Amino acid sequence: MRGKILMVTLWIASLFVFAACHDDDDDDKSYKPGKSVVEAFTAKFPNATAVSWEKNGVYEKAEFREAGQECEAWFGKDGEWVMTEKDMLYANLPEKVKTGFTGSIYGSWKVEDVEYVDRVNTSPVYRLEIENASQEMYLYFDEEGELIKQAEENAVDLPATVSSFITQNYPKALVVHDERWQDGILEVDILDENQVKEVLFARDNSWIKTSWPVLEANVPQVVLDVLKGEAYNTFSIDNIHFIQYASGDNVYHFLLKKEHSMDISVEIYPDGSIRLD
């Protein structure tokens, strides 16, 4: 009899545990961030439906649907938008991007997935996940259909030395994407200080550099003045990144464009001197 009573008691207790877990799940699903974040989200995505929120470190991530597609958007705690990723149908890609893909050496590969990736202070890109037999690749195209990067599929787990480096140097950062380039370089994209930063590691997993986009308005004038010189004054600024090198060098990296000319890159120290390779 005592055995039966014990079994019944344990069974009833398990129901309470299950109910408590179930309630926790409901609480998670009903989580909402602060008013400033919700208002910023609503202003940026007025047509969003099926919105759910979760907190990741110091960031707020919204999962939602827009135009029938699954989306994710990341915000800082005060409502600063940081990044958006949206699933897309291949048919809905801009024609320039389709042409760029079909005209590339990967044009015969099968497209498995398409995502639109938009990050603060940088131009949006289209990420195509493609496969050919046992090979899988990621291709990145800009809005003009230019193939700007190609990489192998995501690493399953980050190497321990890489994880340790990120934890030590960016203690509040979250890893949002990682992939191994064809030349063996490992790229790890992190969210840190409301900015998406690209951290690169060599084939042996040693740190190479960390970079992130910056606005021209945030570049010291002494640095911008260098571009007024005869060598660069006929070019326009396409994009700017701040780079921290393993060597200890910290520079502003400019990609400069001019019609009917090759793009050029120049790296300038914060004091206005040019970094030479």
Q: Which two tokens stand for residue 113?
A: 């997935």
Cα 80 to Cα 194: distance, rounded to the nearest angstrom: 7
Q: Which domain holds residue 262?
A: 160-275
Tell me whether residue 18 is in a domain.
Answer: no
Tell me whether residue 120 is in a domain.
Answer: yes
**Tell me, what CATH number does 45's domain have?**
3.10.450.360
Are residues 190 and 129 part of one domain? no
Q: Which two tokens stand for residue 206?
A: 């040693």
Q: Which of 100, 156, 155 is nearest to 126 (CA)?
A: 100
> What local confidence, expressed as pLDDT, does residue 13 receive?
38
> What local confidence, expressed as pLDDT, does residue 17 receive?
36
**Domain ends where: 152, 170, 188?**
152
CA distance readout (Å), 62 to 38, 56, 82, 86, 168 = 9, 11, 12, 12, 28
**Domain ends where: 90, 123, 152?**
152
Tell me whether residue 218 is in a domain.
Answer: yes
Number of domains in the chain: 2
> What local confidence, expressed as pLDDT, does residue 7 receive?
39
The answer to whether the CB of 45 falls within 8 A of the CB of 66 is yes
> What local confidence, expressed as pLDDT, does residue 98 receive?
97
> What local confidence, expressed as pLDDT, does residue 151 receive?
87
Are residues 248 and 165 part of one domain? yes
Are residues 186 and 110 part of one domain? no
Are residues 223 and 176 part of one domain? yes
User: Could you tell me where the DSSP H helices lie in the chain?
Assistant: 2-29, 35-44, 95-102, 160-169, 221-224
Are residues 49 and 128 part of one domain? yes
Q: Which of 230, 240, 244, 234 is nearest to 266 (CA)?
A: 240
Cα 240 to Cα 47: distance, rounded to the nearest angstrom: 32
Are residues 118 and 179 part of one domain? no
Are residues 40 and 147 part of one domain? yes
Are residues 269 and 166 part of one domain? yes
> What local confidence, expressed as pLDDT, does residue 39 receive?
97
pLDDT tens, N- to C-terminus, the chain (277 residues): 434 333 333 333 333 333 334 334 444 668 999 999 999 999 999 999 999 999 988 999 999 999 999 999 999 999 999 999 999 999 999 999 999 999 999 999 999 999 999 999 999 999 999 999 888 899 999 999 999 988 886 655 889 999 999 999 999 999 998 988 878 899 999 999 999 999 999 999 999 999 999 999 999 999 999 999 989 999 999 999 999 999 999 999 999 999 888 999 999 999 999 998 7
Are residues 215 and 164 part of one domain? yes
> What local confidence, expressed as pLDDT, does residue 20 receive?
39
* Euclidean distance between the first and the last CA atom of the chain, given in angstroms as a whole number: 84
**Domain ends where: 152, 182, 208?**
152
Q: Which of 61, 138, 55 is nearest to 101 (CA)?
A: 138
Tell me whether residue 106 is in a domain.
Answer: yes
Tell me whether residue 102 is in a domain.
Answer: yes
Are residues 183 and 133 part of one domain? no
Tell me whether residue 40 is in a domain.
Answer: yes
Tell me whether residue 213 is in a domain.
Answer: yes
Tell me whether residue 1 is in a domain.
Answer: no
Cα 277 to Cα 272: distance, rounded to the nearest angstrom: 16
pTM of the entire structure?
0.79
> What local confidence, expressed as pLDDT, does residue 15 receive?
35
Are residues 39 and 135 part of one domain? yes
> What local confidence, expressed as pLDDT, does residue 8 receive?
37
Are residues 270 and 172 part of one domain? yes
Q: Which two tokens stand for residue 178?
A: 């990682």
Collapsing DSSP states into helix, strand and coil, what is residue 123? coil
